[in-house]
Amino acid sequence: MAPPAAGGAAPLLVGFHGYGENAETWLDQAARVPATARWLVVSVQALHRFYNTKTEATVGSWMTRLDREQLIVDNVDYVRDVVDQVRRTHATTVDLVSRRATGGWASSAGRDRRARRESGTERACSVTDGRR
């Protein structure tokens, strides 16, 4: 997590790393965007961790085909808990959701809509780095 430089209430930017990355990687990338200095930036680590065999870094994955529907429920619950905890401990003004478009725009956008609907963050908007 990276707090806003000025302190006080700020937009909450919640980021989700891509496959084989980790929360720190996404947070480092988000810090390169000048506007994030005014935001409360939170990077969520995927629940399903594994080692990158080339670098030995601990990285993560959000989904597999096995038990897909249950993983969606688990991920939505987990993210809801993370966002709720951040909101309880920090003043926020609006929620922004960022993720990598690794699954293609349509499938990623659909997952975002479902996650916002199921987590109660309908007022959130989505941003992406545009990668496919």
pLDDT tens digits for 22-72? 999 999 999 999 989 999 999 999 999 999 999 999 999 998 889 999 999
Mean pLDDT of all residues in 100-107: 41
The CATH class given to the 10-128 domain equals alpha beta
DSSP per-residue letters across 43-57: EEPPSEEEE-TTT--
Distances (CA, A) of 45 to 34, 42, 50, 116: 23, 10, 12, 18
Q: What is the pLDDT of residue 117?
A: 58
- The domain limits of the chain are 10-128
